[in-house]
């Protein structure tokens, strides 16, 4: 099966208003730059975004925030995004934050078909408000629901026409687990190769999880806050 789309615009063309979308990446490392930019140009609105963070003010998911295209952000921290902070404080956007390990496990559970799980993380804190709690072996645990999405936009280093994906170093981060937890996974890759070109033993995301794939262009690969120490 050929899952290749010509570009980002074609791959995200049917993402509707009000969709729940996962975006891979950690900070700005390993984010699907092309897919995000295409969604910004498309003008889709009222999105619920599931992402570790929301980029920076003028890049990554910050582009969708700037265009008032996001209704709710589910993630682990505000990061370097002053716009997200101001929108959340003013009540202009919904923001659900949680411990990073809980975030990762909620997505993994969604991909594995597990409806919910118990974790001690956050017990006895504001994270526990409104959640079921149980005690196991004298320790309090919270019930956390799985996270799934309508679409997942992930970024990989290499991929083939069947959707098998390889990641490069820390750009791997949340991308593989998110690829398993959506109805439609859209993968953008730096290098698109023919089936058989990838080492089967090195493949991280099997093509069965990927519905669409395209080769991205013009990657900036920014980092949030570059600090260079003056030489002595």
What does pTM read for this prediction?
0.94
Distance CA 160, CA 44 (A): 28
Q: Which residues contact 169 (CB under 8 A, 6 or more apart)?
A: none
pLDDT in tens, 178-208: 999 999 999 999 999 999 999 999 999 999 9
* Largest interatomic CA distance in the chain: 58
Predicted local confidence at residue 230, as pLDDT: 79
Are 134 and 168 in contact, with CB atoms under 8 Å apart?
Answer: no
Q: Which residue has the tokens 């409104």?
A: 130
Predicted local confidence at residue 80, as pLDDT: 80
Q: Which residues pair with 160 in a beta bridge?
A: 193
Distance CA 80, CA 77 (A): 9
Complete domains list, the chain, with CATH: 17-97+148-215 (3.40.1080.10)
Q: What mean pLDDT do residues 33-49 have?
A: 98
pLDDT greater than 80 at residue 157 = yes
Are 97 and 68 in contact, with CB atoms under 8 Å apart?
Answer: no
Q: What is the DSSP string of 32-89?
A: -HHHHHHHHHHT--SEEEE-SS--BTTBTTHHHHHTT-EEEEEES--TT-HHHHHHHH
Residue of 207, 228, 181, 167 lying closest to 31 (CA atoms): 167
Q: Which residue has the tokens 């295209």?
A: 69
Distance CA 94, CA 43 (A): 19
pLDDT greater than 80 at residue 43 = yes
pLDDT in tens, 110-122: 999 999 999 999 9
Give the pLDDT band of residue 229 (cuts 50, 70, 90).
confident
Give the pLDDT band of residue 40 (cuts 50, 70, 90).
very high
Predicted local confidence at residue 224, as pLDDT: 77
Are 11 and 35 in contact, with CB atoms under 8 Å apart?
Answer: yes
End-to-end CA distance of the chain: 58
């Amino acid at each position: 099966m050929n899952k290749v789309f010509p570009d980002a615009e074609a791959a995200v063309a049917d993402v509707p208003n009000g969709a729940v979308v996962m975006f891979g990446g950690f900070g700005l490392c390993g984010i699907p730059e092309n897919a995000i930019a295409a969604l910004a140009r498309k003008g889709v609105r009222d999105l619920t975004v599931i992402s570790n963070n929301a980029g920076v003010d003028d890049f990554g998911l910050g582009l969708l925030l700037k265009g008032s295209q996001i209704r709710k952000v589910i993630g682990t921290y505000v990061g370097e995004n002053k716009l997200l902070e101001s929108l959340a404080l003013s009540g202009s956007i919904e923001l659900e934050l949680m411990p990073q390990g809980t975030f990762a496990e909620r997505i993994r559970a969604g991909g594995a078909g597990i409806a919910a799980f118990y974790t001690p993380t956050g017990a006895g804190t504001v994270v526990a408000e409104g959640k079921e709690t149980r005690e196991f072996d004298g320790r309090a645990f919270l019930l956390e629901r799985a996270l799934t999405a309508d679409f997942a936009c992930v970024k990989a280093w290499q991929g083939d026409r069947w959707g098998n994906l390889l990641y490069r170093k820390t750009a791997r981060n949340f991308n593989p687990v998110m690829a398993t937890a959506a109805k439609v996974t859209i993968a953008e890759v730096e290098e698109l190769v023919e089936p058989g070109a990838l080492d089967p033993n090195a493949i991280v995301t099997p093509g069965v999880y990927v519905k669409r794939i395209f080769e991205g262009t013009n990657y900036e690969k920014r980092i949030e806050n570059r600090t260079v120490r003056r030489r002595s």
